Structure formats: structure tokens, C-alpha cells
Amino acid sequence: MLTGENQANSTPRWAPDASYIAFNSSRSGSNQIWLLSSEGGEARQLTKFSRALTLISWSPDGSKLLASCKCKPSDFSDKKEEVSDVKVITKMHYKMNGAGFHDDRNTHLFVVNSITGEVQQLTDGEFDHGSATWSPDSKKVLFAAKRFEDAEMVPFNDLYTVDVETKQILKITTVRGQYTAPVYSPDGSKIAYYGHMCEYGSATLDKLFSIPAEGGQPTLLTENFDFSVGNAVGSDMTSASEMRPIWSLDQKKLYFSATTGGVCRLFQVCAEGGSPKGLSCDQKVLYGYSFHLESEKVVLMYNQPSNMGDLFQFSLTDHSETQITHVNQAWYDEVSVSLPEHYAFTADNGATIEGWLLKPYSFQEGKKYPMVLQIHGGPHVAYGLTFNHEMQVLCGMGFAVLYTNPQGSLGYGQVFNNQTHHDWGGQDYRDLMLAVDKALEKWTWLDETRLGVTGGSYGGYMTNWMLGHTNRFKAAVTLRSTSNRFSMFGTSDVGYNNGNFEFDGKPWINYEHYLKHSPIMYVENIQTPVLIIHSEQDYRCPIEQGEQFFTALKFLKKEAVFVRFPNENHELSRSGQPNHRIERLQHLTNWFITHIEV
């Protein structure tokens, strides 16, 4: 262990010559950049900036570090502002789940001298700057931003460069689109990035592009690849890791990750474009990588049903891989893990839907078992071949767990992904109900009279929707859900974006559409006992959504319980406080055990 156990340390970054590790730490009272010699010893504080800094990366020449900071001009003024706890809001996008209220601050880029710790600001203005990376010669920083008026009104952004010495900012994209994860080619002549032209709003699949470093027309490199780049397969045990495109040393190939069905794999494609080739295993979910191009080796981070996360060394030459860590082996030796059984069926519109079933740990032939249907969030994410702790807990309690990817899920192509367009609670609902029917046909030991349903975020929406349209389930747990799409337009941190594609226009004009697709409008039909779990600092699906649903249920004298978690946000099940994560699972499992005989 390189740092103390009781210290909040994060984002470690090796220096280009491997002499130091730079990392973030809040041990001094605020998040600052620290350096630790690769030879050992005590870490030393490099920055003592007046605001918290988030480390991004070293410059290729090792002389500087790139960092970001949420700030506003008055933060650096000698004149002290009068302190008040009153919030004066002037922008539509004034809060973000997990980050809280913006307080008129924006994310700006800074460079830090790697020897003296001197900090210089690179960007300015009332704009947010992200996805930043260095040019190969360490003279420029490339980033994504919306440096234009009314930025919060549109989903588009641009790519820019800023000269580290002159601070001059140059816009290099000319086509409207969404751009993220840019990276220079080794000689600095081109830039590869992920993005799309927002053809289908938030449902548009990300693709791989390249563009000349000085700007110009972008080239689509994955034109005949009907999958989304990046990992969209969810798990409650691993956090997302940015997987930018990687250039080969000779600049003839690019490496990237993509979600195909219920897995995420490493792919390569010709730098001029073509048909991508899958390289890594097609039965695991890739959620991070680190390349050493000189040796043609890659370290891959995998999540799979039998292993929640370990490192593997992968060869780019012969595609062999070797596991190099066994972090949780001692734990696996002590517990049972239920492995998924795959199935697929044809939806009523001809699409192929795939799903998986986990057997209860106590499974015995000849016995009948209850089943819980799990519904993923999004809707444009996916379930797949990952380890999910919540599902394993339910298996340990004696339940079978069914999870599937209804239309609208990522990993099955653009047409499949578009099926929630203006139709939440339509095709997706029919797919999920058919998934239950087909599971009962395939696994005859499932008891159709002992079914439960649960899901979070969009999965919570679908749970609420199901309860108003079927009485098939004996118990339900709705997590961080949405129940009123009309009010959510104005209360969610991203709700106003849904009118671009998911829902039809402005709610005050097309209110009938929004209300038609709101589960609360069908609350009179609900007969299933419902447990509502919500976080009080959830700004994605605000707690008022749970409050409305609970109040309506109790007013109608339905069986419902509302559990509120303070000091937690939308990510409670994935990154919440450990004691709260445990208590959440206790409430969830107790509800099902109380209402469904195990």
C-alpha cells in the first residue's frame, strides 16, 4: 500500500518517466495534487490552491500537470463576497446529480508546474470544459465545451484547443454534434474522438471519428458498425472508467471499446475507416484499459458473472490473455455465486430480445421457486454478463432473478435503441412482460404465482408503469424512480432534454402525451404492495417523483411504504455510503420476503 488507509486519495497518474505518481488527496483539507516518489517515502503536497483541483494528466514532457477546477472569478478576488445561504438561480442548468448546485461556477482547465506547484488558469468564461487531453508536444490542450450563447438549450458541443503559453483558444469542429474523449495521433496531425450528430437525440449511438488536428471535415471510421462505442453494460460493483480511442504507434489502426449485446469488447479499426474487428473475449464486460504500445500489451479490466473485477494482460499480437490479479479470490472461496443462464425470444415486432436467469443458491430439482424481475435504468444502457451484487443477494434469499434487455437497450443497433421514442411504457413494457412469459415456459420450476419486480431510475419508471397495467406481481420495489413525466421536465437536472427525442415536445403544449406516459396517471389500478426507495439528494430523478407516487398510493389506501435516504443521490446503489447501501438491500429483501413466500 502506497498511501494511508484513512486518507481520501484518488486519480493516480504515473509521470512519463515513471519517477513519480501524482494523485489527488484531501488530507490537507481540500482536494489538492500530491506527488509520491516511485522509490517510496512520504508523499509531498504539490499544490496549495485556493480551490479544490481535480488531476487529469501529466504533460508528455513531464513538466506540467493538467487539472480542472469548478470556480468563478470572484473565487480569486481579494474582495470577500458576503456569505449567504440563499441561492439566486439565473440559469436553467443550475444543478447536477452528484455535484449539487453549481453556484454560478463552471469547470475550467488549469496547468500546474510539476516542480514548483504553480497553478495557471487556461480557460475562462461562463462555460464548462471537459474531456481534456495534451497534444504530443505538450504545447496545447484539447478539450470539449459549449463555448457559445444559450449552451444549455442544445445538446451540441465542440472541440477546442488552447495554447498553454498564449492561452489562445481555437475551435476545430465545424459540424454540429456531440464530441467526447478526443485524443491526438502520435504525430499530432489528427484527432480521434467519440460522438454523433444527434440524429436520434439521446438515443443516438456513439461512433468513432477522426478529424485533422487543425480542424476540417470529420471522417466516420465505424460507418458499418451498428453498435455503440464504450461500455453500456451496468453493474453495481464497478465504476465506469473512461476508455478513449487509442492510436497504434504507426497510426494505421485505432483501438476502442464497444457494447455488443450483453458484453463490452476491445475492437480495432483501420485509421482510414472500415469494419471493426473484435479482439477481446466475447463473454466478458470490459470496463477499463491501459495500453503499452511499445510491447503491444494491454491491461484490461473485466467484470464477469463469476468475477466482479480483476486485471488481465492482453496481447495485441496473438490476442492471448492472462489474469494478473485475483483481488477477491478469498471472498469467492467463502461464498456461493449464481451464474446466469442465457435465453432469447422474438418480440411482437420481430426483434430478438435476450435475457438471463440466475437460480437461487438453494436450488433443488423438483421444487418451485419465486422469481424477481430486475429492470435496468437508462433506458439506453444494458444488462449483461456482469456480477451484480443486488441480484446475488436476492439469489441468496431464495429468489430466482430474471434480467433482460428490452427494446431501447444499447448493444443491439440503432433501430433497436430507438424503440422508446415517444413510447415509454409501450414496446418496452410488452417486451418485459413477454420476457416473463418466456422465462416461465423455459424454466418450469419457476412459480408464476410468486413473482416480484424491481428496478431503478428508468427501471423504477417501468416498475411503476407495470403496477398500473398488470396485477401479475405479488410485490414491487421501485428505486430512484420517476412517476410524473410532466413535472420531471422541470425538476430533474436533465429532464428538459427529454423533449428532444424520448418524449414529444414541450409538456405545457403536449401535456396529454406526457401525462399518458406517466405512471401516476394509472395509480388507481395498482393492487400490488409497493416499497418506494429514494435518495433525498437525487437530482436526476428528484425525490418529489417518489413523494407524488407515495402520496397518491396512500390517499387511495394502497399498501405502500416510503424509505428516504438522507445525504445520498441517484448513485446510492453503486457508490452510496456503505451503511446506507446495506440498509437499502435490507429494506428491499425484507419487502420481497414479507410479501412473497420463499
Provide the b/e sequence for 409-418 (b: ≥16 CB within 10 Å). Answer: bbbbeeebbb
Q: Are 379 and 409 in contact (CB under 8 A)?
A: yes
Strand extents, DSSP E, 83-185: 95-96, 100-101, 106-113, 119-121, 129-134, 140-145, 158-163, 169-171, 178-184
Other C-beta atoms closer than 10 Å to the C-beta of 333 total 7
Active site members: 457, 570
Q: How would you classify the pairing of strands 446-456 and 54-58?
A: unpaired
Say if residues 477 and 500 touch (Cβ distance below 8 Å).
no
Q: 404 near 354, Cβ under 8 Å?
A: yes
Task: Please give, one letter per residue, the 3-state secondary structure of 422-476.
Answer: CCCCCHHHHHHHHHHHHHHHHCCCEEEEEEEEEEECHHHHHHHHHHCCCCCCCEE
338 secondary structure, DSSP code: P
Interatomic CA distance for residues 171 and 60, integer angstroms: 23
First to last CA, the chain: 44
Residue type, position 456, single letter: G
**Whole-angstrom Cα distance, residue 184 to residue 16?**
16
**Phi, psi for residue 520 in degrees, rounded to 5:** -65, -20
Residue closest to 201 by CA, chosen among 155, 262, 256, 236: 155
Q: If you count them, how many residues does the chain have? A: 598
Residue 9 β-bridge partners: 25
- Distance between CA atoms of 511 and 525, rounded to whole angstroms? 21
85, three cell numbers: 445561504
Are 447 and 370 contacting, i.e. CB atoms less than 8 angstroms apart?
Answer: yes
- Listed residue (193, 160, 155, 208) closest to 177, CA to CA: 155
How far apart are the C-alpha atoms of 7 and 385, rounded to whole Å?
A: 33
CB atoms within 10 A of CB 7: 11
Q: Are 21 and 36 in contact (CB under 8 A)?
A: yes
CA–CA distances in Å: residue 93 to residues 68, 105, 123, 145? 20, 11, 20, 15
> DSSP characters for 51-112?
S--EEEEE-TTSSEEEEEEEE-GGGG-SSPPPP-S-----SS--EETTTEE-TT-EEEEEEE
Mapped onto helix, strand or coil, the DSSP state of residue 195 is: strand
For residues 386 and 404, give the distance between their C-alpha atoms in angstroms, rounded to a whole number.
13
